[in-house]
C-alpha cells in the first residue's frame, strides 16, 4: 500500500513539474511574440504613408523642464508670536492684514510671574549698584593705603557676586521679551503699580499679520501661538519632479515661474534646494526655488508651473513626439529591421520615456545609439499591428 502511495505521489509531482514547465514556456513564448511583433510593408506602402526613419544617437539635451508648482512662504521670513510666560491677554493692537514693523508692540500680557521677574531684576540692579559703589570706595582707600586689604577684597567679592546675579536676571528679562526700558519705566503707558506685571509682546520681523488666535482676557502660556507674521518680499515655490529627471538638473540654476493668474508674465528666480528623498508613492522629489516678490503679486498657496533649464552636461537619445506610441500606460516605438528590399520589416520596441523637451521625447531606456527608428508613420504601423492582433484573436 505504501509503495502504491509513493508511486502515486511521485507521478503527481512529475506531472506538476511538466505542467509548470509547459506553462512557463507558453508565457515566455507569449512574451517573445509580444515584443517581437513584426509589421511588413512594401516599398509602395512606405512611399504612400511617407514613412521616415532616423538613426539614433546621443545628443546634448537642451530645453526646459516644466513641472507643476505651488507658492509657499519663505520660512526664514515667518514668525510665530506668543508669550514665554503664562498670563492673561490685556490688549491686542493688531488685526488680520495689518502691516507691522520689527519691534512693534502687538499685544500686552499680564501675569504674576511677569511681576516677579521684573522685581527680581530691579532687586539685582539695586544690589549691583550698592556693591559697585562700595567696591569703588574701598578701592580708592586701598590705593591711598588708608583702608585694610581684607576689607577691599571682601568688597570686591561682593561686587562680583552682585554682578553675576544681575547678569542672570538681565538675561531672564530679555529671554521673555522685556527690555531694560520696560522694567525701568513700566512700558511708558502709565505710572501705576499695576504696570509692573505687564509684558509687551513685540513683532520679531517686518511683515503682515496672517493669523490671530487670541482675544482680550484669554489665558495664554508658552505653547500658545497668539499671532503669525509673514514677510512675502521673497517667497519659495515648491515643485515635484520624477526621479528619472534628476540627472538632467543642475543645482543653483535659474528658474521661471508662470501662473494663469498673470497670463504672459514670467517671474525669475533661482533653484535653492533639490530634495534628497524620493516619495515612495509618487516616485518624485521636491525642488524648491526662491523668487523676489517686492510687488507682492505671488501669494502663498498660489498654483502655477516652474520652468528649469536642463543641465548643460546632459546627453540623451531624443525622438519627435509622433515617433512614440502610447498604449495602455506604456510607450513604444517601431524599429526598422532591414535596410531595404522589396519588403520592409518593422519591429515593436517598448521604451521608457523621460522628459518632454521642446516637442521631443527623451528616451531613458529601450534604445541604444545606431538603431533605425521610425519617426513618421508610427500611427499607421500601430493600426497595422492592431489589425494583426484582432485577426489572430478571431
pLDDT computed for residue 7 by the predictor: 45
Average pLDDT, the chain: 83
Mean pLDDT within 63-69: 84
Minimal CA–CA distance to 226: which of 92, 104, 97, 117? 92
Counting the structural domains of the chain, the total is 3
pLDDT of 1 over the 60 cut: no
Domain end: 263, 288, 309, which one? Answer: 309
The domain containing residue 242 runs over which residues?
Answer: 64-74+232-309
Is 14 contained in some domain? Answer: no
pLDDT of 20 over the 70 cut: no
Contacts for 323-332: CB closer than 8 Å, 24+ residues apart: 323/361, 323/373, 323/374, 323/375, 323/376, 323/378, 324/351, 324/353, 324/361, 324/378, 325/378, 325/379, 325/382, 327/382, 331/361, 332/382
Secondary structure E strands in 231-382: 234-242, 254-258, 267-274, 284-292, 303-309, 315-320, 325-327, 330-336, 343-357, 360-365, 372-376
SS3 label, residue 267: strand
How far apart are alpha carbons 203 and 223 in whole angstroms? Answer: 17
C-alpha distances in Å from residue 299, one per residue of 215, 231, 232, 302: 27, 11, 8, 6
pLDDT of 354 over the 80 cut: no
Is 4 contained in some domain? Answer: no
pLDDT tens-digit series, residues 252-298: 788 999 999 999 999 999 999 998 899 888 888 999 999 999 999 99
pLDDT computed for residue 43 by the predictor: 84
Least confident span in 6-20, 117-131, 272-286, 369-383: 6-20
What count of residues does the chain have? 394
pLDDT computed for residue 393 by the predictor: 52
pLDDT computed for residue 163 by the predictor: 93
Residue reference for cell 502660556: 221
Cβ atoms 245, 353 nearer than 8 A: no
DSSP letters, 27-59, are HHHHHHHHHT-EEEEEHHHHHHHT-EEEE---E
Identify whether residues 102 and 183 lie together within a single domain. Answer: yes
pLDDT of 130 over the 90 cut: yes
Residue 56 sits in a domain whose CATH number is 2.40.420.20
Domain end: 195, 214, 230, which one? Answer: 230
How far apart are alpha carbons 220 and 111 in whole angstroms? Answer: 10
Helix (H) or strand (E) holding 110: strand 105-110
How far apart are alpha carbons 351 and 244 in whole angstroms? Answer: 13
Confidence of residue 195 (pLDDT cuts 50, 70, 90): very low
pLDDT computed for residue 98 by the predictor: 96
Query: Higher pLDDT residue, 194 or 82?
Result: 82
Is 5 contained in some domain? Answer: no
Residue reference for cell 505671488: 298
pLDDT of 116 over the 90 cut: no
pLDDT of 228 over the 80 cut: yes
Identify whether residues 104 and 87 lie together within a single domain. Answer: yes
Q: And the C-alpha cell for 340?
A: 531595404
pLDDT computed for residue 164 by the predictor: 93
Identify whether residues 81 and 148 lie together within a single domain. Answer: yes
Percent of the chain with pLDDT over 90: 43
Is 24 contained in some domain? Answer: no
On the CB side of 346, CA atoms within 13 Å amount to 26
Confidence of residue 184 (pLDDT cuts 50, 70, 90): low
Identify whether residues 218 and 267 lie together within a single domain. Answer: no
Percent of the chain with pLDDT over 70: 82
pLDDT computed for residue 148 by the predictor: 83
**Whether the predicted model's global pTM rises above the 0.85 cut:** no
Amino acid at each position: 500500500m505504501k509503495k502504491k502511495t509513493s508511486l502515486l505521489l511521485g507521478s503527481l509531482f512529475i506531472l506538476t513539474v511538466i505542467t509548470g514547465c509547459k506553462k512557463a514556456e507558453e508565457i515566455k513564448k507569449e512574451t517573445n511574440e509580444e515584443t517581437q511583433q513584426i509589421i511588413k510593408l512594401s516599398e509602395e506602402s512606405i512611399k504612400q504613408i511617407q514613412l521616415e526613419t532616423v538613426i539614433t544617437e546621443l545628443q546634448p539635451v537642451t530645453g526646459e523642464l516644466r513641472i507643476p508648482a505651488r507658492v509657499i512662504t519663505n520660512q526664514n521670513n515667518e514668525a510665530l508670536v506668543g508669550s514665554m510666560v503664562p498670563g492673561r491677554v490685556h490688549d491686542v493692537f493688531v488685526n488680520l492684514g495689518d502691516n507691522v514693523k520689527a519691534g512693534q508692540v502687538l499685544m500686552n500680557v499680564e501675569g504674576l510671574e511677569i511681576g516677579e521677574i521684573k522685581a527680581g531684576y530691579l532687586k539685582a540692579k539695586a544690589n549691583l549698584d550698592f556693591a559697585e559703589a562700595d567696591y569703588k570706595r574701598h578701592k580708592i582707600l586701598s590705593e591711598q593705603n588708608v583702608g585694610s586689604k581684607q576689607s577691599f577684597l571682601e568688597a570686591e567679592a561682593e561686587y562680583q557676586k552682585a554682578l553675576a546675579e544681575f547678569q542672570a536676571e538681565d538675561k531672564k528679562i530679555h529671554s521673555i521679551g522685556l527690555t531694560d526700558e520696560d522694567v525701568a519705566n513700566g512700558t511708558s503707558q502709565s505710572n501705576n503699580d499695576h504696570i509692573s506685571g505687564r509684558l509687551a509682546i513685540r513683532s520679531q520681523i517686518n511683515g503682515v499679520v496672517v493669523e490671530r488666535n487670541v482675544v482680550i482676557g484669554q489665558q495664554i502660556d508658552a505653547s500658545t501661538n497668539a499671532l503669525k507674521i509673514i514677510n512675502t518680499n521673497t517667497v519659495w515655490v515648491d515643485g515635484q519632479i520624477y526621479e528619472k529627471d534628476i540627472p538632467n538638473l543642475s543645482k543653483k540654476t535659474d528658474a521661471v515661474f508662470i501662473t494663469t493668474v498673470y497670463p504672459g508674465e514670467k517671474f525669475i528666480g533661482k533653484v535653492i534646494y533639490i530634495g534628497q528623498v524620493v516619495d515612495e508613492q509618487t516616485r518624485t522629489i521636491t525642488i524648491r526655488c526662491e523668487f523676489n516678490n517686492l510687488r507682492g503679486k505671488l501669494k502663498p498657496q498660489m498654483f502655477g508651473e516652474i520652468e528649469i533649464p536642463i543641465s548643460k552636461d546632459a546627453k540623451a537619445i531624443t525622438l519627435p513626439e509622433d515617433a512614440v506610441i502610447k498604449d495602455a500606460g506604456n510607450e513604444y516605438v517601431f524599429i526598422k529591421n532591414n535596410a531595404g528590399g522589396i519588403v520592409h520589416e518593422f519591429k515593436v520596441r517598448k521604451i521608457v520615456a523621460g522628459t518632454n523637451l521642446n516637442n521631443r521625447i527623451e528616451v531613458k531606456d529601450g534604445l541604444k545609439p545606431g538603431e533605425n527608428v521610425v519617426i513618421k508613420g508610427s500611427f499607421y504601423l500601430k493600426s497595422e499591428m492592431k489589425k494583426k492582433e484582432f485577426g489572430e484573436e478571431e
